[in-house]
Structure 1
Amino acid sequence: MHGGEKVTAAQPDAAQAEWLAKLHKQLLSDDSIQFDLPAYVQPKTPEWLKPLGEFLKSLGPYMIYLFWGAVITGAAIILLLIFLEVKGVAWRLPWWRQKSVTEAEATWHPDVGAAQVLLSEADALAARGEYDEAVHLLLRRSVADIAGRLPDFLRPSLTARDIAGAASLPTRARGAFTQIARIVEAALFARRPVGPEGWQEARSAYERFVFRDAWT
């Protein structure tokens, strides 16, 4: 109201009213718009879940004790691990131990110094014409090297052929050992003397077995 004048709201004319009614009707007939929303119904707890809910509910008064029990247990474990580290006691989880064993096998190599001494001894035998003994010496040393790599694999009942077929041996090391074992078997069972050629073949195989990255 201003200056004593009475203000009235503007009323739509007939054309506008008809247009609004038509627009409202179109809006109501649009199926993509939902006007009647269903009332919210709280989902019913499945029967199989009710025992768990009751169990958790029964633990309610004791949750504080469970919480502090877990905290104390965790702190005790941490203190124990720190104590073991300070004392230098080695500890590993089972899967860590398996990984350590695998890594140790992957990085293991025969003792090169011992192999050189052995070759000198075998060369001395071969120089005296004792080729069979020289090749046997190489075979025994090769078996000892394999025992260093696979201590749980070797058993007294295994033959050289069994050892040569071990899938856990690297391919090149297995091939070199197989060649030495074949020469020894021929001398033992076929009564075929090793001779200079057999000796040189076995010696070359042992060099590959030890010195030429056969274990990588």
Structure 2
Amino acid sequence: MTIGAGTDEGAQEAWRAVRDDSDIQFEPLPPPEMPETPAWLRAIAEFLAEIFAPLAHAFVGAWPVLQWVLVAVGVILLVLLIARILGVPLARLHGKAPKDEPDLVPDREEAQSLLSDADALAAQGRYGEAVRLLLARSIRQIAHRRPDLVQPSSTARELSRIEALPEAARRAFSAIARAVERALFALEDLSERDWHEARAAYADFALEGR
């Protein structure tokens, strides 16, 4: 019992010594005073409240109608997005065919003349020259009918992405572009198979397209 009492007394004295130490803060600190809002800032807030309060009331009142307008706009945007992904021309969505669109398919005689000249090169094993001839003259044919689509710097790969061109034309330019790029940048000699693929793509556009 004596040991326990001595221990309790020692603890109490130690506690009082700590409490009496003026260097230790035991009382809670008062909260810091909030800085006063500047007058200019209060003036701006009041000005904005006067402007936007009527707009907020009007928005709340018009919300029953506005929500359906937003839904309709969302549906229209969704339809346009799906049409763009699927490659459907916008004119087709309205049930109208484009007016005054020039026929981009070359004349049969013109196309056959080009294929004849290219075939002559291919018959000599000059497949790269034959493919480049297809590329140059087919671009010239498109430029003659739609000069707004073809710029002097236009490449076959760029033309293959122009939505105004028929799908067969884009496929033709894409096939020819792959072959020409391999020949130019990979320094590969084009094979007979490369030539036949490019020729078939052009013929599908220029001849079968009619």
Number of residues paired by the alignment? 114
Cα distance change on mapping 1:120 and 1:107 into 2, 3 Å: closer
Name the structure 2 match of 1:194: 190
- Assess if the C-alpha contact under 8 Å between 1:177 and 1:209 holds in 2: no
CA distance in structure 2 between the partners assigned to 1:170 and 1:118 by the alignment: 19
Q: Name the residue aligned to 1:150.
A: 146
TM-score normalised per structure 2: 0.50
Q: Which residue of 202, 205, 209 corresponds with 1:209? A: 205
Structure 1 residue 210 displacement after superposition: 0.2
**Are 2:131 and 1:135 equivalent residues in the alignment?**
yes
Q: CA deviation at 1:107?
A: 3.8
Query: TM-score under structure 1 normalisation?
Result: 0.49
When residues 188 and 202 of structure 1 are mapped into structure 2, their CA distance, relative to the original with a 3 A threshold, is same
CA contact (8 A) 1:131 1:194 kept: yes
> Contact 1:172/1:209 (CA < 8 Å) preserved in 2?
yes
2-structure distance, mates of 1:167, 1:108: 13
Say which is worse superposed, 170-179 or 194-203, in terms of deviation: 170-179
Q: Which runs of 5+ in 2 are unaligned?
A: 1-97
- CA distance in 1 between partners of 2:104 and 2:111 (Å): 15
Secondary structure, counterpart of 1:105 in structure 2: coil
| 1:168 counterpart SS class | coil
The Cα offsets for residues 97-118 of structure 1, whole Å up to 9 and x where unpaired, read as xxxxx53425442121011111
In the alignment, structure 1 residue 169 sits paired with structure 2 residue 171: no
Corresponding residue of 2:58: none
The answer on whether the counterparts of 2:169 and 2:202 sit within 8 Å (CA) in structure 1 is: no
Report if the CA contact (8 A) 1:186-1:192 is conserved: yes
Change (3 A) 1:107 1:115: closer
Aligned residues with identical type, % of pairs: 50
Return the alpha-carbon distance in structure 2 between the equivalents of residues 147 and 108 of structure 1: 9
Contact preservation (8 Å) 1:105, 1:149: no
Once the two structures are superposed, what CA deviation does each residue of 1:120-139 show, in whole Å capped at 9, x if it has no partner?
A: 11111111111110000001
Extract unaligned runs of 5+ from structure 1.
1-101
Note the alpha carbon deviations across 1:160-205, whole angstroms, 9 max, x for none.
2112111211122211221111111111111121111111111111
RMSD of the alignment, in Å? 2.0
Pair 1:182 & 2:178 matched: yes
Q: 1:152 to 1:187 in 2, by over 3 A?
A: same
Question: Secondary structure in 1 aligned to 2:99?
Answer: helix
**CA deviation profile, 1:16-49 (whole Å, cap 9, x unmatched):** xxxxxxxxxxxxxxxxxxxxxxxxxxxxxxxxxx
Q: 1:186 to 1:157 in 2, by over 3 A?
A: same
- After TM superposition, list the pairs within 5 Å mapping 1:1-216 onto structure 2: 102-105=98-101, 107-213=103-209
Q: Which has the larger radius of gyration?
A: 1
SS at 2:101's partner residue?
Answer: helix
Give the 4+ runs in structure 1 shifted more than 4 A.
Answer: none
